[in-house]
Amino acid sequence: MARASPHRRKLNGLRTVDRAGYPLYRPQQFCYSPHTMPADDILLEAEEKMMKTEQIVQHEFAGVRTGKASPALVENIQVEVYGAHMRIRELAGITTPEPRMILIQPWDISTVHPIEKAIQKSNLGVNPAIDKKLIRIVLPELSQERRIEFTKIVRKMAEDGRVAIRHVRRDAIEHLKKEAKEGTITEDDLTHAEKEAQKLTDQYIAKIDAHLTHKEKEIMTV
Superfamily of domain 27-63+145-220: Ribosome-recycling factor (1.10.132.20)
Question: DSSP 3-state assignment of 134?
Answer: strand
Amino acid 219: pLDDT: 87
Amino acid 123: pLDDT: 73
Mean pLDDT of the chain: 83
205 CB-side CA count, 13 A: 16
Give residue limits of the domains in the chain: 27-63+145-220, 71-140
Whole-number Å distance between alpha carbons of 46 and 199: 12
Banded model confidence at residue 222, pLDDT cuts 50, 70, 90: low
Determine how many CB atoms are found less than 10 A away from the CB of residue 196: 19
**Residue 99, strand partner residues:** none
Alpha helices, DSSP H, located in the chain: 39-62, 112-121, 144-181, 187-220
Write the CB contacts of 121 (distance below 8 Å, at least 6 apart in sequence).
none
Q: Does residue 1 carry a pLDDT above 80?
A: no
pLDDT in tens, 62-116: 878 777 788 888 998 999 999 999 999 999 999 999 888 999 999 999 999 999 9
CATH of domain 71-140: 3.30.1360.40
pLDDT in tens, 167-189: 999 999 999 999 999 888 899 99
Amino acid 137: pLDDT: 92
pLDDT in tens, 188-207: 999 999 999 999 999 999 99
pTM metric for this prediction = 0.67
Whole-number Å distance between alpha carbons of 99 and 157: 26
Least confident of 52-61, 87-96, 138-147: 138-147
